[in-house]
Amino acid sequence: MVNIYEAGPFEGRIEQWPVLATSGALEVRLAETELEIEQAQRLRYAVFYDEMAAIPSPQMRDSGRDFDKYDDVCDHLLVVDRDAHDEDGQPMVVGTYRLIREKDAAKVGGFYTSSEYDLLPMISGLPKGTKYLELGRSCVLKSYRNRPGTMQLLWKGLMAYVARFDIDVMFGCASIPGIDPNEMALPLSYLHHSCAMPVELCVKARPELYVPMNVIPADQIDEREGIRSLPAMLKGYVRAGCRIGDGAVVDRQFATTDVFIYFPVSGLDPRYKSRFGLVK
């Protein structure tokens, strides 16, 4: 039985969440201690700043961790390798997701995604009482990305979380490496033409950040080439049934170009529901 508690430094988080799934020495579960959250933040730093081209603040550089105000209110989903240990002798965190529910986002002024996109059309267009989950800061240690089970465990953990909290809609920003939209004309145009959100709900990039995605005409795009041009995480989202908002946003801190992903749980591809055990 999952135990929810509302006091102490993990207010509103899940205590004693069981291991959700395993694959060999790998297991997926939620962070339960500050040390485990710091492990997730160090992993994010290693991927986003050391491996990729993100620009850390002086405080991040000094600590070797990626962090912001949302880390204090979110849940951190972890993939842990029980057979590998970090420099502190702890089982190594090799994959992570940051999960933020609406009640927790409200504690820090709203969702992270609202800094890039106007969420009002989605929130006002869906029925009152819709339960939202923001996905963010997803990453996997480079040496584990092609290892069988790592991404699958992250997805299984995510689906268990969705089922536990009766989530209706997942959303967030998905990133394409690079800050020159001209160099990603194919993936942006493919997403624009093939995966657009319903018009009545369509989330749009903030005007001062808006980058057009309709670069290549639809009749000039080969669907197989379009999906092949997407990063692995975004490709998985599309195959599972996500839709895309209007306009991209260049994130210079992280050296990426972001798109808005809209993921109604009811629209999840049945194959994914079965594969990852979503019973909703």
pLDDT tens readout for residues 75-116? 999 999 999 988 888 899 999 999 999 999 999 999 999 999
* Paired strand residues for 29: 78
- What single-letter DSSP state applies at residue 254? T
- The 3-state DSSP class for residue 260 equals strand
Residue 108 belongs to a domain: no
Residue 252 belongs to a domain: no
DSSP secondary structure string, 195-235? SBPPGGG--EE-TTT-B----S-GGG--HHHHHHTS-HHHH
- The 3-state DSSP class for residue 108 equals helix
CA pair distance 118, 195, nearest whole angstrom: 18
Per-residue burial over 230-244, b = 16 or more CB atoms within 10 Å of its CB, e = otherwise: beebbebbbebbbbb
Predicted local distance difference test score (pLDDT) of residue 267: 79
Print the domain residue range for 40: 1-98+148-167
CA pair distance 43, 141, nearest whole angstrom: 7
CA pair distance 247, 200, nearest whole angstrom: 16
Tell me the C-alpha to C-alpha distance, in Å, between residue 50 and each of 69, 91, 120, 161, 199: 21, 21, 35, 30, 39
Predicted local distance difference test score (pLDDT) of residue 123: 96
Predicted local distance difference test score (pLDDT) of residue 167: 96
Residue 70 region by backbone torsions, left for phi larger than 0, else alpha for psi between -120 and 50, else beta: alpha
Query: What is the average pLDDT across 29-58?
Result: 94
Residue 161 belongs to a domain: yes
Query: What is the average pLDDT across 216-243?
Result: 94
CA pair distance 134, 162, nearest whole angstrom: 11
Contact 221, 213 (CB under 8 A): no
Predicted local distance difference test score (pLDDT) of residue 218: 96
* Paired strand residues for 98: 76, 136
Residue 15 belongs to a domain: yes
Residue 7 belongs to a domain: yes
Predicted local distance difference test score (pLDDT) of residue 269: 75
Residue 13 — very low, low, confident or very high, per pLDDT cuts 50/70/90?
very low
* Paired strand residues for 28: 21, 79
Residue 122 belongs to a domain: no
* Paired strand residues for 7: none
CA pair distance 46, 86, nearest whole angstrom: 13
CA pair distance 166, 160, nearest whole angstrom: 10
Query: What is the average pLDDT across 144-172?
Result: 91
Query: What is the average pLDDT across 168-173?
Result: 96
User: pTM for this structure?
Assistant: 0.89
Look at the chain and report how many structural domains it folds into.
Answer: 1
Q: Mean pLDDT for the chain? A: 89
Query: What is the average pLDDT across 221-230?
Result: 95
Residue 20 — very low, low, confident or very high, per pLDDT cuts 50/70/90?
confident
Residue 71 belongs to a domain: yes
170 has pLDDT over 50: yes
Residue 142 belongs to a domain: no
